């Protein structure tokens, strides 16, 4: 069943989440001014799945039930699915101008479909059948899943079992007939309080001493013992000012949270890895590869920023200047290069033993490495074109005040045919995308989401066959390897 945006909102109202923000527990997450834009962004994934013109991109056919499902709950069956995933990310990024929060759960589902099968083949366990039963439930209900991988980590120089506080990595503390009891936290959880389910995975490869940290499971987001503490974003309280201009992006946004697991019981039928430490690294690698492909969403947000830069150039009367035209060309060059990387790793994907298709790991890491750089340059150029008024612009209240409004209307107008208010709106959007709340999703998330830049460089070094490249060179210049 495809859920409608209205049904999605109502489903969140039925949850009993424990959420704190600014030191107080929230009694209504759905209608909170700061959280609501992020809910709207998720709701957009439901709305667009209902529209015939986006059906091919936004929906898929379940390999389990044969029913039409939202692509965010789909397990990739071929490279065409992987390519459509990239296109979906760009499409939604362009329609929301922010993170729409469902990619992490989609990537967790696909990674688990591979690794649970692999564990079963090696260990004789039954994780895959548990997972597929859970997947059927997610698909049937069209649920939002929060994929939770990143642990607080504590002292980065020490492995999990040597931390002064064992909870720096989420871990198993007890085992009962009903399930396992876990303790710890997951950090930087995008869209956490907009989710129905939370899927936990280990954050690094493990050795035997760390086996209690090699755990993966899924729980309802309002399970007893789960606590959410909302993260702050730049300019976040502007959303509470009832301004139709100062927020920049009037409807959509994102959020992050620290998610606490305070001795939480996980029923056995929701456990997908339990101390199989040999497979923790494989789960991290598969998830990371999928999620690094997912940063095609930044291409969609880049489309918005390029459009805003072109528009403000026109509002400023500078659009015909050769250096402005060249800067717009460079923004498009960088943005389309990002798209190329995501498409390439999808097109070069291969089937895993489970039957699930996974992206090309090397190309996925190359794609994400570019994402850690290019959006920053795109944002810099946009700020250059916008001019300093982007960060010195008075508030909407000043424009509306009789004492000051007339002066602002007079002195902050650009070209005569464009209203001062429209110029202000476009400047605020660029500010939002490059400095404000959306910058968390566009810039900081581009840097640290799906692993820091160094994580991709490590994977690139592992995946590249340097010996083969050396042999190509030696062959062409007539070098034969000498015997030692």
SS (H, E, C) the chain: CCCCHHHHHHHHHCCCCCEEECCEECCCCCCCCCCHHHHHHHHHHHHHHCCHHHHHHHEEECCCCCCEEEHHHCCCCCHHHHHHHHHHHHHHHHHHCCCCCCHHHHHHHHHHHHHHHHHHHHHCCCHHHHHHHHHHHHHHHCCCEEEECCCCCCCCCCCHHHCCCHHHCCEEEEECCCEEEEEEEEEEEECHHHCCEEEECCCCCCCHHHHHHCEEEEEECCCCCEEEEECCCCCHHHHHCCCCCCCCCCCCCCCEEEEEEEEEEEEHHHEEEECCHHHHHHHHHHHHHHHHHHHHHHHHHHHHHHHHHHHHHHHHCCCCCHHHHHHHHHHHHHHHHHHHHHHHHHHCCEECCCCCEECCHHHHHHHHHHHCCHHHHHHHHHHHHHCCHHHHCCCHHHHHCCCCHHHHHHHCCCCCCCCHHHHHHHHHHHHHHHCCHHHHHHHHHHHHCCCCHHHHHHHHHHHCCHHHHHHHHHHHHCCCCCCC
Q: Locate tokens 């995501």: which residue?
A: 342
pLDDT digits (tens, 9 = 90+) for 223-255: 999 999 999 999 999 999 989 899 999 999 999
pLDDT band at 452 (very low <50, low <70, confident <90, very high): confident
Residue 189 lies in a domain: yes
Are residues 273 and 297 both part of a single domain?
A: no
Taking the C-alpha atoms of residue 247 and residue 117, their distance in angstroms, rounded to an integer, is 46
Strand partners, 183: 171
Domain closes at, from 257, 279, 301:
279
- Find the mean pLDDT for residues 281-297: 97
Residue 484 lies in a domain: no
Asked if 55 is an active-site residue, the reply is no
Are residues 365 and 342 both part of a single domain?
A: yes
Are residues 259 and 138 both part of a single domain?
A: yes
Of the residues 98, 103, 274, 358, which is catalytic? 103
Of the residues 98, 145, 274, 297, which is catalytic? 297
Residue 483 lies in a domain: no
Are residues 178 and 112 both part of a single domain?
A: yes
Are residues 371 and 224 both part of a single domain?
A: no
Asked if 190 is an active-site residue, the reply is yes
Are residues 447 and 380 both part of a single domain?
A: yes
Asked if 445 is an active-site residue, the reply is yes
Asked if 240 is an active-site residue, the reply is no
Of the residues 190, 203, 356, 437, which is catalytic? 190
- Of all residues in the chain, the percent with pLDDT exceeding 70 is 100
Are residues 321 and 446 both part of a single domain?
A: yes
pLDDT at residue 484, rounded to an integer: 55
CATH code of the domain in which 382 resides: 1.20.140.10
CATH code of the domain in which 71 resides: 2.40.110.10
Asked if 348 is an active-site residue, the reply is no
Are residues 457 and 330 both part of a single domain?
A: yes
Domain closes at, from 279, 308, 335:
279
Residue 345 lies in a domain: yes
Q: Locate tokens 């090397």: which residue?
A: 362
Of the residues 295, 315, 339, 442, which is catalytic? 295
Domain closes at, from 258, 279, 300:
279
- Find the mean pLDDT for residues 81-103: 97
pLDDT digits (tens, 9 = 90+) for 107-143: 999 999 999 999 999 999 999 999 999 999 999 999 9
Residue 481 lies in a domain: no
Residue 476 lies in a domain: no
Of the residues 290, 291, 315, 372, which is catalytic? 291
Are residues 273 and 299 both part of a single domain?
A: no
Are residues 196 and 125 both part of a single domain?
A: yes
Of the residues 9, 197, 256, 431, which is catalytic? 256
User: Beta 215-220 vs 171-175: how paired, if at all?
Assistant: unpaired
Flag whether pLDDT at 483 surpasses 90.
no
Residue 449's domain comprises: 292-465
Are residues 255 and 362 both part of a single domain?
A: no
Asked if 161 is an active-site residue, the reply is no
Residue 475 lies in a domain: no
Are residues 79 and 209 both part of a single domain?
A: yes
Asked if 256 is an active-site residue, the reply is yes
Of the residues 99, 145, 274, 345, which is catalytic? 99
Asked if 291 is an active-site residue, the reply is yes
pLDDT at residue 51, rounded to an integer: 97
The pTM (predicted TM-score) of the whole model is 0.95
Indicate the number of domains in the chain.
2
Q: State phi, psi for 250 to the nearest 5 degrees.
A: -75, -20
């Amino acid at each position: 069943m495809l859920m409608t945006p209205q049904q999605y909102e109502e489903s969140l109202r039925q949850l009993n989440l424990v959420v704190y923000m600014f030191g107080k527990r929230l009694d209504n997450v759905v209608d909170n001014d700061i959280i609501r834009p992020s809910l709207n962004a998720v709701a957009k994934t439901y709305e667009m799945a209902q529209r015939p013109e986006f059906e091919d991109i936004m929906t898929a056919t379940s390999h389990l039930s044969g029913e039409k499902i939202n692509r965010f709950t789909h397990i990739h069956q071929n490279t065409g699915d992987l390519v459509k995933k990239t296109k979906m990310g760009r499409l939604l990024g362009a329609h929301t101008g922010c993170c729409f929060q469902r990619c992490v759960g989609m990537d967790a589902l696909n990674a688990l479909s591979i690794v649970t099968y692999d564990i079963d083949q090696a260990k004789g366990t039954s994780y895959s059948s548990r997972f597929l039963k859970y997947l059927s439930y997610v698909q049937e209900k069209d649920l939002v899943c929060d994929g939770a991988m990143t642990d607080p980590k504590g002292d980065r120089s020490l492995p999990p079992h040597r931390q002064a506080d064992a909870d720096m990595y989420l871990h198993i503390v007890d085992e009962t007939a009903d399930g396992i009891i876990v303790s710890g936290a997951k950090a930087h959880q995008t869209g956490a309080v907009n989710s129905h389910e939370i899927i936990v995975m280990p954050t690094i490869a493990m050795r035997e001493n760390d086996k209690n940290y090699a755990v993966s499971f899924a729980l309802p987001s309002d399970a007893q013992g789960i606590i959410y503490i909302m993260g702050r974003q730049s300019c976040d309280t502007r959303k509470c000012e009832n301004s139709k201009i100062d927020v920049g992006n009037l409807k959509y946004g994102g959020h992050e949270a620290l998610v606490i697991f305070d001795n939480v019981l996980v029923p056995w039928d929701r456990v997908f890895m339990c101390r199989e430490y040999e497979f923790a690294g494989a789960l991290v690698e598969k998830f990371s590869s999928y999620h690094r492909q997912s940063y095609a969403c930044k291409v969609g947000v880049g489309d918005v920023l390029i459009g805003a830069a072109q528009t403000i150039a026109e509002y400023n009367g500078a659009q015909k200047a050769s250096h402005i035209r060249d800067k717009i060309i460079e923004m498009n060059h960088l943005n389309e290069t990002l798209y190329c990387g995501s498409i390439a790793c999808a097109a070069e994907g291969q089937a895993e033993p489970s039957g699930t298709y996974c992206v090309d790991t090397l190309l996925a890491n190359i794609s994400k490495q570019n994402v850690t750089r290019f959006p920053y340059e795109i944002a810099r150029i946009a700020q250059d074109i916008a001019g300093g008024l982007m960060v010195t612009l008075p508030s909407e209240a000043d424009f509306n005040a009789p004492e000051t409004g007339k002066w602002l209307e007079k002195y902050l107008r650009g070209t005569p045919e464009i209203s001062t208010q429209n110029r202000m709106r476009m400047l605020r959007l660029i500010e939002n995308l490059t400095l404000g709340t959306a910058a968390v999703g566009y810039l900081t998330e581009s840097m640290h989401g799906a692993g820091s830049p160094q994580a991709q460089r490590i994977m690139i070094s592992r995946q590249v066959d340097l010996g083969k490249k050396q042999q190509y060179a030696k062959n062409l210049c007539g070098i034969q390897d000498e015997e030692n």
